[in-house]
Amino acid sequence: MSFETSWQDLKDHMRRAGDIQFVTILTDHNERSKGCGIVEYGSTEDAKNAIATLNDSILDGRPIQVREDREESFSLPRKPPRGDTYRADGRRATGRKVYVGNLPFSTSWQDLKDLCQAHGKVARADVLEFHDTKKSKGAGVVVFDSRQDAKRAIQRLDGLQYEGRQLTARW
């Protein structure tokens, strides 16, 4: 995806496949686009339609890769680090999903879940991967059972030293 693509551009492009719940563009610590985004659809059918019809489609002059999350429900961060996340109606999203950054590249989804369980009840944990190599991006998304658990986890995990790395945790 182009580094110039906005969340609205991504939403407009992806809405052809179905009802969108929220959209985000992932950004680095300098608030620059990482060239990827996340779209959550209202149904599994719409998500599958997006994969079937929009994979390798052109957005802002570049082909985009569209793929489904690897488990049964979506694990998409509503607020990745320093990125703006919006619902389909344009309002900022809030929720139970926490982005955890600067993870060791060897961290598995189970390691991430185990790390976060001490700070709240975890419904799901995923390590973000590059779509072509399936190697870790050194970040993950954790879905907590409640917003309160997510908030507590952010407070405790942000700045925590974990296997020699200082973690970041954000909505």
Is 125 a residue whose pLDDT tops 60?
yes
Structural domain for 148, as ranges: 97-170
Please give the pLDDT value at position 140. 93
**3-class state of residue 46 by DSSP:** helix
Number of domains comprising the chain: 2
Judge whether 140 lies within some domain.
Answer: yes
Mean pLDDT computed over 95-101? 87
CB count within 10 Å of CB 4 equals 11
Q: Categorize the per-residue pLDDT at 76 as very low, low, confident or very high, splitting at 50, 70 and 90.
A: very low
pTM over the 0.75 mark:
no
Rounded Cα–Cα distance for residues 143 and 125 (Å): 6
Please give the pLDDT value at position 54. 95
Judge whether 68 lies within some domain.
Answer: yes
Q: Looking at the structure, do residues 128 and 62 belong to the same domain, yes or no?
A: no
Rounded Cα–Cα distance for residues 54 and 21 (Å): 17
- Of 87, 108, 132, which one is at a domain's C-terminal end? 87
Q: Looking at the structure, do residues 39 and 109 belong to the same domain, yes or no?
A: no
Q: Categorize the per-residue pLDDT at 94 as very low, low, confident or very high, splitting at 50, 70 and 90.
A: low
Mean pLDDT computed over 31-56? 88
Residue 43: CATH number of its domain? 3.30.70.330
